[in-house]
Amino acid sequence: MNNFSNESFLLTIQGFDIPSESILPAFLFATLNYMIILFCNLILLITIIVNKSLHQPMYILLLNLPINDLMGSTALYPQLIKELLWDTRTIQFSACVTQAFFIHMYIVGAVFILTAMAYDRYVAICRPMRYNTIMSNTHIMKIISLVWLSNILMIAVLFILLLRLPRCRSLLTHTYCDNPSLLQLVCGNTAINNIYGLTTVAFSQVVTVGTFVFTYLQILIACFRNKSSDTRSKALQTCATHLIVFIIFECLGLFTIISYRLTDIPTHIRQFSGVAAMILPPTLNPIIYGLRTKEIRMNTLKLLKQTVYPS
C-alpha cells in the first residue's frame, strides 16, 4: 500500500492500440497538430493583446479562450507525444495528477468562458444602449475573475478529495489522466468523490446551459423584432457560430463523462470522444473566431505581414 501511495509510483496508461507501422504517422500527426494549436492560439492571443482597437469587452473575454486552449493542449500533447516517440505507456503518479488537474481546468474553463461570451452577446444585442455601461472594465474583470476563481476552486476540491484516498491499482483505462480514471485506482470508499463530482457537473450544466438557453432565446426574440435584415443576419451569424462551438464541446464532454458510467460503451469509443474533446476545440476555436471575426482577421493579417515584412 505504501508503494502505491508514493508520489513517484509509476502508473500504466492503457492508451490506443496502435500497430507498430502506424506509430510514426501518429507521432507526426500529434506533433503537427500541437504545433498548429500553439501557432494559431498564440497568434490570436498576440493579435488581441497588441491591437488597442480590440481592447473591447467581447475581445477581452475572447482572450481567455486561447489561454485556456493552450493550457489544455499543453497538459495533453507533450505526454502523448512522449508515449508515441519512446513507445512507453508509463507516467509518474505526480505527473499524472498534474496532467489531470490542468485537463479538468481546461474543460470547465472552456464551458465557463463560452458562457461569459454568450452573456456579452446578449447584452450587446438585447441591451445595445446600455452595453458600455453594463460591460464596463470593472464588470468585465469581475466576470473573468469569477470564471477562473470558481474553476480553480471546483477542481482543487475535486483533487483534494481524490488525493486523500489510498491507491491499490496502477492501470489507467484511458488515453490520458483524468479524475475518473485516477478514481479507478482507489481501493477505498469513493462515495464522497462521486457525489461531489456529479454535483459539480450538475451545477455547471445548470448554470452554463441555463445561461445559454436564456440568452439565446432573448437574442432570437430581439433579432426577429429588429426590422433591419442586415443587422439581424449579422447578429444571428455571430451567435450561431458561438452556439455551434458550445454544442460540440458539450456533446463531446458529456458523452465522455457518461461513458465512464456505462459499461456497454466500447473502450475505444470512450477514448476517441475523450481525445476529440481535447483536440477539436483548441484546433477549431482560433480558426472560427479568427477567420470569421472581421476585426480579428484584418488585425491578424496585418500582424503577420509586419512580422514577415518588417518596415
One DSSP character per residue, 81-146 reads HHHHHHT--EEEHHHHHHHHHHHHHHHHHHHHHHHHHHHHHHHHHHSGGGHHHHT-HHHHHHHHHH
pLDDT band at residue 234, thresholds of 50, 70 and 90?
A: low
Which of these, 226, 208, 228, lies nearest to 218 by C-alpha position? Answer: 226
Instruction: Supply the pLDDT for residue 301.
Output: 77
Question: Could you tell me which CATH number the domain at 19-308 has?
Answer: 1.20.1070.10
Instruction: Supply the pLDDT for residue 99.
Output: 94
Domain extents for the chain?
A: 19-308
Q: Reduced to 3 states, what is the DSSP secondary structure of residue 11?
A: strand
Instruction: Supply the pLDDT for residue 2.
Output: 46
Instruction: Supply the pLDDT for residue 238.
Output: 67
What phi and psi values does residue 17 have, to the nearest 5 degrees?
A: -90, 85
Q: How many Å apart are CA 287 and CA 33, to the nearest integer? A: 13
- β strands within the chain, DSSP E: 10-13, 90-92, 171-172
Which of these, 273, 169, 154, lies nearest to 205 by C-alpha position? Answer: 154
Q: How many Å apart are CA 144 and CA 137, to the nearest integer? A: 11
Instruction: Supply the pLDDT for residue 13.
Output: 83
pLDDT at residue 304 greater than cutoff 80:
no
Instruction: Supply the pLDDT for residue 241.
Output: 77
Sheet with 90-92, strands from edge to edge, namely 90-92, 10-13, 171-172
Comparing 137 with 253, the larger pLDDT belongs to: 137
Instruction: Supply the pLDDT for residue 1.
Output: 45
Q: How many Å apart are CA 311 and CA 282, to the nearest integer? A: 32
Q: Which of 5-14, 26-35, 63-72, 242-251 has the lowest mean pLDDT?
A: 5-14
Instruction: Supply the pLDDT for residue 308.
Output: 66
